[in-house]
Amino acid sequence: MQQNNINCTVSGHENQKVLSLCLNIQCPFRTASCLLCKQEQHKEHSQDLKELNQIEQQIVLIEASQQNMISILRRMEYEIQAAIKFINHSVQTLIAPIENYRKSISYQTIEDLGLFFKKLHSFDYPDQVRKLSLILNQLYTLNSQEDRKNFKPVQIIASTTTINTQKESKQYFDQGFELCTKGQFDEAIKLLDKSLEICSTNIEAIFYKAEALRNLGQFEKSIAEYDRCMKFDSDDKLEYNFGKGEALRALERYEDAVLLFDKALKINIKHFNSLFGKADCLRMLGMLQESLKYYNFALKENQKDFTCLKFKAVIMEEIGLEDFLEFYQIAAQIDPYDEYIQTKLSLYSQ
């Protein structure tokens, strides 16, 4: 991907070469960016520009590697064609391993490129999206029309049946997801299972099935699905670690749950639900001082969370801190009908 040497058109920057375009859709300038532009006009989102430039470099590397792969595979096909003339083997015996090899490479490449599509989704970057689409197309059409005149290439282009199957899988997932958002978890699981029957590695379907099972109280089954997510995708995703940690907490496996919440907090140290989950596990393990610390961390992210305030007051009272009553009073303002808090306030008002 070669950049043209064009001078900046911004007044006072005429001697500066344009380095890139500002691709932040919220930028009021939306213009070609030289070094001075980045320093003066785009400094608020300079990190976005750096990130997009890195993505562009990765795209170039991917394109180069795929072109090299295409050349290698073409040579392999020519070698097979020549071998057929001299060896009395079945053509299929020679083509089958190549076909499997290509399919595995194409699948993995598409998975990798999918990550770039997600990265580019929130930016106005149509040229790079088109470039990625072209790369995908090249993967499925490895041979030119001229090459195909002499021999039959290995077919890896998705059939109409495959495309329709993928659409059907997505339709089941979309319906299941919608039911999850409505709290209809039993029906959601049935539809998510249908989606997974068609595509067993659909990460989103596996994740929302895990969420639905957890909400239904089927914690062991939900843990198995979170583990599948980590196996097929990654074990350092916040939502997987938090969800599994919540299931473990519900099973009273508090020490195991703390390990999962810690992994989630390494990804986002301010994640309220993980902070609360860890605080609650520590409370149940009798580690009250440490638990109080994490309730405080959680309250920094959500100062008016009733449950946090309530348990903070309980712990403060139990370890003998003098101002515990203040937090019972704050919690009572949020939920004046909680019987436990009202009992405490009545007791200490006498």
Let me know whether 176 and 131 are in one domain.
Answer: no
Let me know whether 185 and 135 are in one domain.
Answer: no
Give the number of other CB atoms < 10 A from CB of residue 246: 24
Q: How far apart are CA 100 and CA 94, in angstroms?
A: 11
Q: Which residue matches tokens 């140290």? A: 269
Structural domain includes residue 11? no
Domain end call among 136, 157, 178: 157
- The whole-angstrom distance between residue 185's C-alpha and the CA centroid of its chain comes to 22
Domain end call among 101, 133, 157: 157
Structural domain includes residue 15? no
Give the per-residue pLDDT at 335: 92
Domain that holds residue 90: 52-157
Looking from the CA of 90 toward its CB, the CA atoms found within 13 Å total: 4
Give the per-residue pLDDT at 84: 63
Structural domain includes residue 192? yes
Let me know whether 145 and 170 are in one domain.
Answer: no
Q: To the nearest 10°, report the CA torsion of 159, 162, 164, 166.
A: -140
CA 70 to each of CA 27, 59, 75, 85, 181: distance values in angstroms, whole numbers, following the listed order: 39, 16, 9, 23, 44
Let me know whether 258 and 320 are in one domain.
Answer: no
- Tell me the average pLDDT of the chain: 76
Averaged over 228-242, what is the pLDDT?
90
DSSP character at residue 153: P
Let me know whether 72 and 133 are in one domain.
Answer: yes
Q: How far apart are CA 186 and CA 222, in angstroms?
A: 13
pLDDT in tens, 109-123: 555 555 555 444 444
**Total domains, the chain:** 4
Let me know whether 297 and 319 are in one domain.
Answer: no
Structural domain includes residue 199? yes
Q: How far apart are CA 298 and CA 277, in angstroms?
A: 9
3-state secondary structure of 33: strand
Tell me which of 320 and 18 has the higher pLDDT.
320
Structural domain includes residue 5? no
Let me know whether 84 and 128 are in one domain.
Answer: yes
Reading the block at residue 123, the tokens are 């930016």
CB 299 within 8 Å of CB 305: yes
Reading the block at residue 58, the tokens are 């990765």
Reading the block at residue 109, the tokens are 């490449």
Span of 6-15, 79-88, 133-142, 262-271 with lowest mean pLDDT = 133-142
Find all residues with CB under 8 Å of 335, minimum gap 6, and list them.
306, 341
Let me know whether 282 and 343 are in one domain.
Answer: no
CB 189 within 8 Å of CB 173: no
Q: Which of 195, 216, 198 is nearest to 206 (CA)?
A: 195
Let me know whether 173 and 192 are in one domain.
Answer: yes
Let me know whether 90 and 151 are in one domain.
Answer: yes
Let me know whether 193 and 284 are in one domain.
Answer: no
pTM: 0.55
Q: How far apart are CA 216 and CA 225, in angstroms?
A: 14
Structural domain includes residue 27? no
Q: Is the pLDDT of residue 163 over 90?
A: no
Q: What are phi and psi of 21, to 5 degrees?
A: -100, 145
What CATH number should be reported for the domain holding residue 209? 1.25.40.10
pLDDT in tens, 184-232: 999 999 999 999 888 887 889 999 999 999 999 999 999 999 999 998 8
Structural domain includes residue 38? no
Amino acid letter, residue 62? I
